[in-house]
């Protein structure tokens, strides 16, 4: 008997996702586990694909790279996981290869992408197969399975909380620093939240979406609306010497006050607003040639810039204990928890910035 599950997919039409039947995953290798999803989420990076003609009728684009669930089946080579264990599924998995070179990024397997193109099926589905599970998954101590709040807090260690935390780290942040976070989407909000958790003296949150800025203000950040006036001027009026640190959490889809795309504007503004010998962490998505940035200005101010792809497996040891102890509640950004059949409607709402963060519950 062929069993099926529900999953979110796109068939080559922009701004149009569907919920479809897919074959349930099965163990293919001894290092695999099957996870029954408890929650997944719609990510800001999903919108890059959503706005494009992703997938096709022959090879649908399968969505989702943030997930939490419990193990329902294990391969015969899995050593450290058991049926019933709750695990966070990060957006990058271990690739099964050993390297003697530490701290070198090796492209790993990831979830979500065009079926047939090498990616594993997405996590906006009822079940998922995870390869190299012992090294790919993040076990979490879920004891009360009815506590949706705790599940959602852990869920965000899969991507956006880990990404936000890393952006603050890459800026060179130290307790007491001032920091400006450009972008108040889910990652930007959690970057502001991370800085506050880590002892920032003042946090500035820059965006133009008023409900996002209100959420930033609710956690103690200072909202800066770049449609009201130049954000650099607004911040320098409060910080004449500039902020010590900055985080870029927008990427190549950044816009100016008129709404026109200007892929380098946020990094240029961060360089201008960061104090000499300060630092900037970049976690927004950029590809080669997408941003017009004056590195000479950063050089003259001796501002360091660091960024790249975040690997949640490398950050989990810092942020999971904060959730365990009750110090961190990244789920504050969630505005809707939905069933999977509602995904098409909420992709539209999220794309229109009517939602801050949407979680799919199973």
Do β-strands 127-130 and 274-282 pair in parallel, antiparallel, or remain unpaired?
A: unpaired
Higher per-residue pLDDT: 239 or 255: 239
Contacts of 101 (CB under 8 A, 6+ apart): none
SS3 sequence of 246-257: EEECCCCCCECC
pLDDT digits (tens, 9 = 90+) for 66-85: 999 999 999 999 999 999 99
Residue 109 has phi, psi (to 5 degrees) of: -65, 150
Strand partners, 82: none
How far is it, in rounded angstroms, from Cα 181 to Cα 319? 19
183 vs 109, higher pLDDT: 183
For 20-39, what is each residue's pLDDT tens digit?
Answer: 999 999 999 999 999 999 99
According to the model, what pLDDT value does residue 101 have?
67
Residue recorded with tokens 């911040």: 235
Give the lowest-confidence range in 52-56, 80-84, 222-226, 268-272. 52-56
Single pTM value for the model: 0.93
Per-residue pLDDT at 272: 96
Token digits of residue 161: 């909380």
Find tokens 């630092």 and name the residue: 279
Coil, helix or strand at residue 114: strand
The pLDDT value recorded for residue 119 is: 62
Listed residue (43, 73, 278, 18) closest to 159, CA to CA? 43
Contact 33, 78 (CB under 8 A): yes
In order of start, what are the domains of the chain with their CATH numbers?
4-156+333-361 (3.90.180.10), 160-307 (3.40.50.720)
41 - beta bridge partners? 359
User: Taking a C-beta distance cutoff of 8 angstroms, is the pair 183, 266 a contact?
Assistant: yes
Local structure of 202: helix, strand or coil: strand
How much of the chain, in percent, has pLDDT values that exceed 90? 78
Range from 108-117, 137-146, 186-195 carrying the lowest mean pLDDT? 108-117
**Cα–Cα separations (whole angstroms), residue 26 to 29, 115, 138:** 9, 16, 21
């Amino acid at each position: 008997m062929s069993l099926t599950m529900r999953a979110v997919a796109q068939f080559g039409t922009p701004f149009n996702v569907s919920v479809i039947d897919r074959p349930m995953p099965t163990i293919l290798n001894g290092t695999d586990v099957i996870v029954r999803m408890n929650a997944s989420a719609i990510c800001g990076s999903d919108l890059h694909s959503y706005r494009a003609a992703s997938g096709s009728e022959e090879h649908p684009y399968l969505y989702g790279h943030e997930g939490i669930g419990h193990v329902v089946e294990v391969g015969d080579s899995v050593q450290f996981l058991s049926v019933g264990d709750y695990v966070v599924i990060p957006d990058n998995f271990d690739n099964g290869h050993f390297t003697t070179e530490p701290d070198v990024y090796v492209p790993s397997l990831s979830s979500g992408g065009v079926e047939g193109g090498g990616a594993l099926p997405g996590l906006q589905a009822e079940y998922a197969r995870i390869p190299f599970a012992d090294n790919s998954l993040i076990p979490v101590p879920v004891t009360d399975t009815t506590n949706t709040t705790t599940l959602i807090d852990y869920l965000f260690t899969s991507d956006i909380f880990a990404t936000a935390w890393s952006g603050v780290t890459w800026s060179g942040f130290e307790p007491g620093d001032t920091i400006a976070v450009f972008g108040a989407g889910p990652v930007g909000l959690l970057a502001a939240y991370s800085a506050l958790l880590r002892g920032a003296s003042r946090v500035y949150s820059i965006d133009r979406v008023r409900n996002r800025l209100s959420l930033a203000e609710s956690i103690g950040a200072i909202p800066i609306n770049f449609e009201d006036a130049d954000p650099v001027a607004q911040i320098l009026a409060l910080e004449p010497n500039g902020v010590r640190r900055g985080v870029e959490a927008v990427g190549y889809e950044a816009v100016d006050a008129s709404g026109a795309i200007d892929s380098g504007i946020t990094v240029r503004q961060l360089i201008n607003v960061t104090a000499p010998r300060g630092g900037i962490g970049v976690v927004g998505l950029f590809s080669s040639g997408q941003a017009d940035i004056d590195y000479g200005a950063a050089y003259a101010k001796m501002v360091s810039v660091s960024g790249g792809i975040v690997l949640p497996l490398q950050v989990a040891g810092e942020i999971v204990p904060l959730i365990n102890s009750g110090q961190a509640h990244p789920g504050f950004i969630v505005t809707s928890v939905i069933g999977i059949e509602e995904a098409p409607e909420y992709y539209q709402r999220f794309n229109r910035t009517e939602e801050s963060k949407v979680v799919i519950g199973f």
